[in-house]
Structure 1
Amino acid sequence: MKKNALLILAGCLLLFSTSCYYDELPPEEQIEISPDQEISFAADVLPIIAKYNCAGCHDGGQDPDLRANNAYDALVPQYVTAGDAANSVFFQRLPGKSHPPVNISLTDNELTTIEEWINRGALE
């Protein structure tokens, strides 16, 4: 009886352990931004800021103020060096690079969009 119970228990453990796995998301399709494609803050960057609720912390009480009506003027030129993403504080501190919150990470496409926006002159 004990032997049968142990075999059943071992079988159940084996069955349950093989059913536990992590689904892997398919890789994100990389966007191509053509050289003549205009990237603007309002159309391309602000939606990313809104998606991650950056204004939840950067609400005017903590710089930069990333509320929709203030974000562009708060970022450019204090945190964004137009034409130079590599030396722009905003780009260096994006989630997934070196800025909290830890559980948020921008996608490669979002990072590329913001980097290209800055490198192309940080248009409003």
Structure 2
Amino acid sequence: MKKRISFFLISSLIVFNFSCYYDQEIDLSQPLPDIPVDQPISFSSDIAPIFSKTGKDCTACHNGNVANPDLRAGNAYTNIIALIVAGDAEGSEFYQRLPGNGHPLDVGFVMDNADIALIKAWIDRGAENN
């Protein structure tokens, strides 16, 4: 019986230690591209499509079936606005947890710097639902 309990405890510790994998951090040696101040950023045409890009489909997991924000078209803005500090991307939980920037699961990809820069600029400009 002691061997089973020991085996169970050791197995549980191994699973626990390796189940919370964090993605790589964004490679800050490559600065994020500058988004010109006069370039308009629209949530519906610029930000929302990032969530369903081929090969980076956030909506595969963030689809309303789990306790994560639903990022499907029509639902994304209302589900992420509570995680955003308008005007402060660095202080926004949403920005901090993007794949490649602290996402809590191994999703198999890291967002590219262009997408991250666009999301950051959108948040820093007030995160409007436009």
> If the length of structure 2 is used for normalisation, what is the TM-score?
0.67
Task: Give the match for residue 119 of structure 2.
Answer: 114
Alignment of 1:1-124 (within 5 A): 31-51=33-53, 52-62=56-66, 63-76=68-81, 78-99=82-103, 100-124=105-129
TM-superposed deviation, 1:87: 1.1
Q: Which has the higher contact order (CA 8 A, sep 6+)?
A: 2
Distance in 2, Cα, partners of 1:73 & 1:102? 23
TM-superposed deviation, 1:107: 0.8
Contact 2:87 2:124 in 1 (8 A): yes
Greater displacement, 95-104 / 80-89:
95-104
Q: Sequence identity, in percent?
A: 43
> If the length of structure 1 is used for normalisation, what is the TM-score?
0.70
Q: For residue 114 of structure 1, what is the amino acid of its counterpart?
A: I
Contact 1:39 1:123 in 2 (8 A): no
User: Bigger radius of gyration, 1 or 2?
Assistant: 1
Considering only aligned residues, what root-mean-square deviation do their CA atoms show, in Å? 1.7
Count of residue pairs brought into register by the alignment: 95
TM-superposed deviation, 1:57: 0.7
Which consecutive residues of structure 2, in runs of 5 or more, have no partner in the other structure?
1-29
TM-superposed deviation, 1:31: 4.4
TM-superposed deviation, 1:91: 0.5
Greater displacement, 33-42 / 114-123:
33-42
Q: For residue 86 of structure 2, what is the amino acid of its counterpart?
A: A
